[in-house]
Amino acid sequence: MAGETPSTVSQLLEALERGRCSAEELVRDCLARIEAEDGAVNSFITVDAVGALTAARAADAERAAGRAGPLAGLPIAHKDIFCTDGLRTSCASRMLDNFVPPYSATAVERLAAAGAVTVGKTNMDEFAMGSSNETSYYGPCRNPWDLERVPGGSSGGSAAAVAAGLVPAATGTDTGGSIRQPAALCGITGIKPTYGRVSRLGMIAFASSLDQGGIMARSAEDCALLLGAMAGHDPADSTCAREPVPDYRAALAMDLGGLRIGLPRHWFDATLDSAIGERLHAALGELEARGARLVDVDLPNNHLSIPAYYILAPAEASTNLARYDGVRYGHRCADPADLEDLYTRSREEGFGAEVQRRILIGTYALSAGYYDAYYKKAQQTRRLIRQDYLDAFESVDVIAGPTAPGTAFRLGEKVDDPVTMYQEDSYTLGVNLAGLPALSVPVEPLDGLPVGLQLIGRHFEEARLLAVAHRYQQLTDWHLREPPAAGGAA
């Protein structure tokens, strides 16, 4: 494409529709950017140039024939946790380094059916376990705003690829904040839908009752366009909801008059960095000036989210990852002496330290002597956390707060301190435990680094969240700022 490439999905689709560029030109541009710039960022694990160009030419042919889908020719990337037919899907783990699925995830198929073109698979924390993208077998991904800092995790590769302008949008998954936290640290918009809104079929499981696929892009409008294609009931996934999917893009224009925004008191107390609090209040002030009303709410059990999550998620992980035994697929140790040696060494060699840690915690919590004391109590706590949100939504329409406790931290700063690392998800975990939708939207940066505002909605009210974020982005341009490495100004 001649000239400057538009940075948003809506701009790119308009350019394609008006014939100002072709899908093949867009894809070639993305591939050239990845080749030139991703060596420093390490946001991609696999790039599929041949497949992407083939799909782009097919999209151009469909558009010429008048059969173009709503996303025809749009280059995107997928987090390497989504199975892609004939294309390696590694989960950023040595365990699946050689795994090439014979089918694609439902979410991947739906985006492809809408015309989106997959250019590659993005880096992530191994098996989605982490908050910094430092547990990847393929090395850490780096934040385009400062290459010595983390992009967040586990969907850090997707967030960094979008922030660096390598692709206009990417899929991610969110088990405890893994879309929202990296979106906040990389200065983009990321939405985690209601649990069950997007099919989990073909999305490699970490914690089955918490995992949810979503979208990461520059703007709420971009997220609305892709989520509309990705969401909906899947009869092959028993956890996928039958709730109708609205036209998210059309809903961006919904009347937000009288909007009540809940502010959890303990999220804005002295424990929050005052500079981040100032930026969040300034963002909320923009909405308040346009008629929104700020209301204090309480989430009295939210402080229990971290201990509850780090019992439940590892318990489910220990069960889901039991299938990786060196027998059927994935890494297999060399010359095993017997079956026990095969199991032990294959798992020891195939899994990294964080994955092994969570498997051990989960197995312990599910063991006969400790199930009632840990796992059952965590489930009871989860119910209390969910009820707190439902009670709060009796008096407000959305809940707002920080996405992360700070800006992007330095590589290596927390990787050897799991407890400190787990605190990164303190504002996001409760949403997953309650199964609610939430998104992160960029606000004014702090010391040149992005800051995210988290918006949380009632079950299946993604449209309202996107509309609120869109209204804010009509008033500001923080979501369009590019990191210095991508040619923009901090």
User: Of the residues 7, 22, 43, 79, which is catalytic?
Assistant: 79
| Longest Cα separation, the chain | 71
Find the catalytic residue in 158, 178, 346, 426: 178
CA distances from 118 to 89, 165, 248 (A): 13, 15, 22
377 is a catalytic site residue: no
Rounded Cα gap, residues 157 and 83, in angstroms: 16
- Active-site position among 93, 154, 155, 346: 154
HSE-CB for 115 with a 13 A CA cutoff: 23
Quick one: 413 exposed, middle or buried, by C-beta within 10 A (0-12, 13-18, 19+)? Answer: middle
**Active-site residue, 178 included:** yes
Question: Which active-site residues does the annotation give?
Answer: 79, 154, 178
